[in-house]
Amino acid sequence: MYPRSFHYHRAGSLKEAVTMLGQLGKNAKFLAGGQSLIPLLKFRFANPEHLVDLSFIPGTSFIKEDSGAMHFGLMTRHSEIEHSALARRIPVLHDCAAGIADVQVRNQGTIGGSLAEADPSGDWANALITLDTTVHCLGANGTRTIALSDFVTDAYTTALAHEELVTEVVVKIPPKGSGGAYLAFKRAAPVYPSASVAVQLKLAGDVCEDVAIALGCVGLTAIRATEAETALRGQILNDKTVATAAEAARAAADPQSDMRGSAEYKRQLIVALAKRAIQIAARRARGEKVEGAHLYA
């Protein structure tokens, strides 16, 4: 299908974009990479009268380290993060970026646009919620910073005001002895995952000092599997504790049956993905160089 007709506007600065959207009213939307929004337009699930394109605003695509944190600009493409040596220092982020859809989507899609769209099948919110992540925003009333845990409030819904946009995503660099992994199961590369698991943990020897586990595509938002985290925190990592955590992750999942699989099928995927992601994260925490490729049917 083709989208309904709309008026196209090109912003020259972030401030101008905010002003434009405020003037154009409730039937206007921002356009970043468009890899989530454009399919919604084509299926006419979204029908804005105006689109304000952010793609030509200078200085909005960057990856930099500052004050113990990694900073990603609004328009930073998935492919830029995939190939960034800086981003590789936080493996869960590299895994996420490298596994999003196909090369064409990764070259066009943006981290800021993905978070702002809050697609429940998206990847970034699930990976980032296992880290200390804040979202920097700009609106008519100035700037503000929102913890990611408070940013995505429901499917396709965020804490952003209508005329407010994401300017930067800031991720605190995990301490020494940490490791992470992000794994998704897909029918094919271009499609959304049937289920995904993100893990970030810190080891002291064989003991898991701290851990965050998040589940994707099995709820309206990314789910923190807190019972699974409790099963690992303070425990020696072995087959038994990892299996217990994976079963707890299964219990936290709230999937719906759809074309990607039945609810029970997705729960089984969560168990398998959680086990593998925990194991990869632990090996990385010990300093091993381990690839964490997605799984395909």
pLDDT at position 37 is 85
Average pLDDT in the 208-217 region?
A: 98
Burial 209-243 (b: 16+ CB within 10 A, else e): bbbbbbbbbbbebbbbbeebbebbbebebeeeebe
Average pLDDT in the 203-209 region?
A: 97
**Strand ranges for 87-245 from DSSP E:** 133-139, 142-147, 152-154, 157-158, 165-172, 178-186, 195-204, 207-216, 223-224
Q: CATH for 178-287?
A: 3.30.390.50
Domain 7-53 has CATH 1.10.1040.10: no
Lowest mean pLDDT among 28-42, 68-82, 228-242, 259-273: 28-42
pLDDT at position 25 is 94
pLDDT at position 196 is 97
β-strands 178-186, 195-204 pairing: antiparallel
Average pLDDT, the chain: 95
Class of 63-172 per CATH?
alpha beta
pLDDT tens-digit map of 94-114: 999 999 999 999 999 999 999
Q: What percent of the chain is modeled with pLDDT above 90?
A: 90
pLDDT at position 296 is 84
Average pLDDT in the 199-209 region?
A: 97
pLDDT tens-digit map of 267-297: 999 999 999 999 999 999 999 999 887 888 7
Lowest mean pLDDT among 15-24, 33-42, 83-92, 126-135: 33-42
Tokens at 233, concatenated: 């925190």
pLDDT at position 189 is 86
Average pLDDT in the 125-145 region?
A: 97
pLDDT band at 247 (very low <50, low <70, confident <90, very high): very high
Tokens at 125, concatenated: 């919110």
pLDDT at position 171 is 98
Judge residue 88's burial from the number of C-beta atoms within 10 Å of its C-beta, 0-12 exposed, 13-18 middle, 19 or more buried. Answer: middle
Average pLDDT in the 210-224 region?
A: 98
Extents of the domains making up the chain: 7-53, 63-172, 178-287
**Which one-letter amino acid corresponds to residue 113?**
G
Are residues 15 and 138 in contact, defined by beta-carbon separation less than 8 angstroms?
yes
pLDDT at position 3 is 84
Average pLDDT in the 139-159 region?
A: 97
Are residues 215 and 223 in contact, defined by beta-carbon separation less than 8 angstroms?
yes
Average pLDDT in the 14-29 region?
A: 96
